[in-house]
Structure 1
Amino acid sequence: MRLLNTTTLQFAEYYNQDTPEYAILSHRWLDGQEVSYIDYCLCVDQAQHGEKLPEYLRDKANTIRSRSGFTKILDFCKAVRLADLEWGWIDTCCIDKSSSAELTEAINSMWSWYKESVLCLVYFNDVESEASYAEIGSSAWFTRGWTLQELLAPSRLNFFDRVWKPLYRLEKATFKAKKRTATMYYIMDDPDWAEFGHMLAQASHVPARYVCGYQSLDSASAAMKLSWASFRRTSRVEDRAYSLLGLLGINMPLLYGEGQQAFIRLQKEFIQTYDDESILAWRSPCPSPNLSSHCFSGVLATNLEFFQASGDIVTIMQYGKPPWQTINQLLQVEAAVYVQSANEAPTTTILLPLACKHSDERGCLHLELTASSSAGAGVGHYMRVSACKLIAAGPQRKVTDDRRLLLHLNAR
């Protein structure tokens, strides 16, 4: 991990147990203004060697120093020193993005780096001093994909307005302590910090119990976590998936250029790693009235937005249930299923129960499946049908014995 000394403004690299206490920055990138690792190193060379550098490099370094991103680095270092910390980490200049190996390691480690930080400084570059709760909640910071993990992973966060004036301080509940309490401090004179906590939850689409650390993120279902991310955007399509690696507890290689396939790979990796069937509890947009609602799809979501209505889905414990297995582009499932008769659906379909449900309902959710008619599909191969809905099975439907199903992960 490459850290920045906030006094000398020099880099140092640390590994595992040798890493000192550090603060970390959460912010929104601005096009053309951020300072990369190579940019920053050039500025350091200019400071150390001055006139020895060629003129064109001195001019380039001066241009870099004029960017708002360079000023942000200096302001961050000042705020870290005021917090009595020596080291800081910033995702713009502390990663050499010209190295694909370093970038992959950094993105796969990002969640743990934010979690292990002593303090996270959240910088709202679009929030004025004395802003109202509503104005803070409308910051673009809440719309960016990467800032979701930056809100949830750290245990301590300090929030700043655009001129680095402190706003609030959040210290989350710690789950190692017996007394599970969280405190939110307002730096200014308004004691009603609870309203700020409510704003954080509302603006981030994350329940306050997770934002403030009252409840472990491990208790949130995959569908719930993906719903939080579904309202956010990233500059690159792939980063919508890559920014979720830590939140979902997944490691996988980065393949920039793969587009939406990154999200498919993320779901496949999750299924192979965890027994959380809510990963299939998504809904696609309802088709136009002139189109049939019985369109076929794979069981994996092709778009993160399909989880926007999954924010209240919780998992159900089911003991003795055989684990899922992925076989090439198929998901092997063994389960008792419900059978719908022909008069209940245009074709005979089955309902596969998932070990998850809406939090305010008792019964589990089901996927509606139909036998695959794709070329090369064998007996027992199924596709999802009516992907715009999840179904609660009624008692009038016939239940079969355990059946082995091969579900197509992608539409064919």
Structure 2
Amino acid sequence: MPGERILSKTIDSLNDTTLDMARYTHECRYRLISCDAFANDRLLRVYEFTDFPSVKYSAISYVWRGNPASRNPSSPNYWQDRDGTFTVKGAEDGDPISLDVFFHVCSASLAHNIRFIWLDRLCVLQTSKKDKSWQIRAMYSIYDKCDTCFVLPGGIRRLVGLNEETAWIQRAWTLQETVVPQRVMVVFAWKYGRTEVKNSPSKLEPRSIIAGDSAQEDIMHILHASTTKIQLVDANTGRVIITGPQITVFGSSDSSPARFSLIGALNRGGISAKEQNLWRCALMRTSSRPVDMVFSIMQLFGVTLDPSSFGKDDRLGATIALAQGILRKGGKAHWLGAWYQLEPSRELPSFPRFPATSVEGKAYLVGSDGRRHEVAKFVKSKGLSPYAVSGVPKGTMSNDGALVFSAKAILIRPWSSSTSNGETILTASDGSKWIVNARGSKEKAKFRTFAVLLGKQLISLSANFIQTSDRDPIRAMILAEHEHGKYHRKSYFKLPSTFQDLFDSASLRQFHLGPR
């Protein structure tokens, strides 16, 4: 074992205690926990590494505050704490660690012949800002190089069943923890044995970890099953155990956009679909620290920011820095394709308005009516497409959040019944009507308005892409000039393929999309 053993405590001695990892660790080191010692010898053993561990290990994805637990056997939240719980100094605001839950996940890891595991609560020094900042920069590598990531949707306090709703899919860091590893397994409460799927080609087949208590399954199998009408039946009796709509561990039908976007991000298909679904996922998630909404996704786009350079509430500054990093390395502004349908942010108009974030709960937007709207439900109510838009532009971003890019654009003007003489009339998503200026007509208005080509909407089928069957596949933003050479976003068009020739013959124009 190349690492140094820094901690070895019996499970019995941990119950109802607070563990101060600062007494045993050094800052800015990698740490792993021995599954062998925990599951077989009832010992919590932590090892520390100066260099990135060369041993095979797994990692855990969970929510800081998960589903509550009860010791009342008649409660739906009942969890039998055989060995109890403990807390970690510096992380007292999170759920205590259930020693029983950790036993189940260590047993799952050993079932894959993985003897070590990474858990941020113990492997990140919670009382050290220096260590946290260092670990955040290493987080992508930790999940990228793990053999398997085990998801605990209900948190580390107790295991939940497939038919219990959790907040896991709404948390910021769980996105990276799911998309980066090559294999992601969900660990959940399970009292059944061998099962079969009826009426569906679904591959859902829970595999027992501790018979009668827990099971594990590939996350994609659960996500797909939750969106279909499958029946999971007992292989011996044929009795229906659960149906697709009852699989709510990643949200009910009201939050289906979050599940579909995650499926799109996990498909590992073309860049357009993957990156746009990553942006969609990110907008529907939340965190106690607004800036973590950026830190949790930055390395998914190949950008590493210094966490110490931003305050905990500086989501705007960090988002601008992330966008600059993406564009600087030649990437495209895929966030435009992800959320062109939503109302733009005033401070950063190429992005939608940022939802409110919190340590628990869901991402919310405050509407024009002053009421809070859960983002996932709002997206579903608007019928927004989960598919990718091809052809989004590259560009640059200034320090004040202005996106400068070039695109094919058609000059348009507002329609009125008194000025219409048979010209082509376009109706925008907000109901406004516009006339396409005839080719060669003079641009007389003081401030101009353009239909700016964004691209074509595509449908993702596995790793391949085909043009959507939508009869109006072309997407174009309406950008209005408010100062010479500076534009803001008003709405967008869904246009038929017949407009492609018009855009092909249009001029390539530069736009400065920035704060007004």
Deviation for aligned residue 1:246: 3.5
**Separation in 1 of the partners of 2:219 and 2:276?**
26
Change (3 A) 1:112 1:364: farther
Q: 1:257 aligns with which of 312, 330, 334?
A: 312
What is aligned with 1:314?
Answer: 388
2:313 partner amino acid: E
Q: 2:480 aligns with which of 370, 380, 400?
A: 370
State whether structure 2 residue 508 is matched by structure 1 residue 402.
Answer: yes
TM-score under structure 2 length normalisation:
0.55
What is aligned with 1:182?
Answer: none
Q: 2:490 aligns with which of 367, 370, 385?
A: 385
2:334 partner amino acid: S
What's the CA shift string for 1:15-53, capped at 9, x where partnerless?
6664211111122213898844768xxxxxxxxxxxxxx
Map 1:5-404 → 2, pairs under 5 A = 5-6=34-35, 7=37, 9-14=44-49, 18-30=53-65, 35-36=87-88, 67-69=96-98, 72-73=101-102, 76-77=105-106, 79-81=108-110, 83-125=112-154, 131=161, 133=162, 135-136=163-164, 138-161=165-188, 165-170=213-218, 204-206=258-260, 210=264, 215-216=268-269, 218=271, 220-254=273-307, 255-261=310-316, 262-281=318-337, 282-283=339-340, 298-303=349-354, 308=379, 312-316=386-390, 323-329=394-400, 330-343=402-415, 344=434, 348-357=448-457, 359=459, 360=468, 361=470, 363-373=473-483, 379-386=484-491, 389-392=492-495, 395=499, 400-404=506-510
What is aligned with 2:206?
Answer: none
**Separation in 1 of the partners of 2:406 and 2:349?**
17
**Separation in 1 of the partners of 2:272 and 2:117?**
31
Change (3 A) 1:384 1:233: same
Change (3 A) 1:12 1:233: same
1:312 partner amino acid: P
Question: RCO higher in 1 or 2 (8 Å CA, sep ≥ 6)?
Answer: 1
Q: Is the 8 A contact 1:145 1:229 kept in 2?
A: yes
Question: Is the strand fraction higher in 1 or 2?
Answer: 2
What's the CA shift string for 1:347-392, capped at 9, x where partnerless?
741122124525324643222112233xxxxx42222223xx4554
What's the CA shift string for 1:379-412, capped at 9, x where partnerless?
42222223xx45548749786422233221xx23
- Where structure 1 has 5 or more consecutive residues not aligned to the other structure, the ranges are 40-62, 174-185, 288-294, 374-378
2:412 partner amino acid: Q
Deviation for aligned residue 1:74: 5.4
Q: Is the 8 A contact 1:111 1:246 kept in 2?
A: yes
Q: Is the 8 A contact 1:157 1:171 kept in 2?
A: yes
Question: Is the helix fraction higher in 1 or 2?
Answer: 1
2:450 partner amino acid: I
Deviation for aligned residue 1:144: 2.1
Q: Is the 8 A contact 1:351 1:369 kept in 2?
A: yes
TM-score under structure 1 length normalisation:
0.67
Q: Is the 8 A contact 1:22 1:118 kept in 2?
A: yes
Aligned pairs, number: 353
1:383 partner amino acid: H
Change (3 A) 1:2 1:303: same
What fraction of aligned residue pairs are identical, expressed as a percent? 16
**Separation in 1 of the partners of 2:493 and 2:321?**
23
SS at match of 1:206: helix
- Where structure 2 has 5 or more consecutive residues not aligned to the other structure, the ranges are 1-29, 38-42, 69-84, 191-209, 222-231, 356-364, 366-374, 416-433, 436-444, 460-467
SS at match of 1:220: helix
**Separation in 2 of the partners of 1:128 and 1:219?**
38
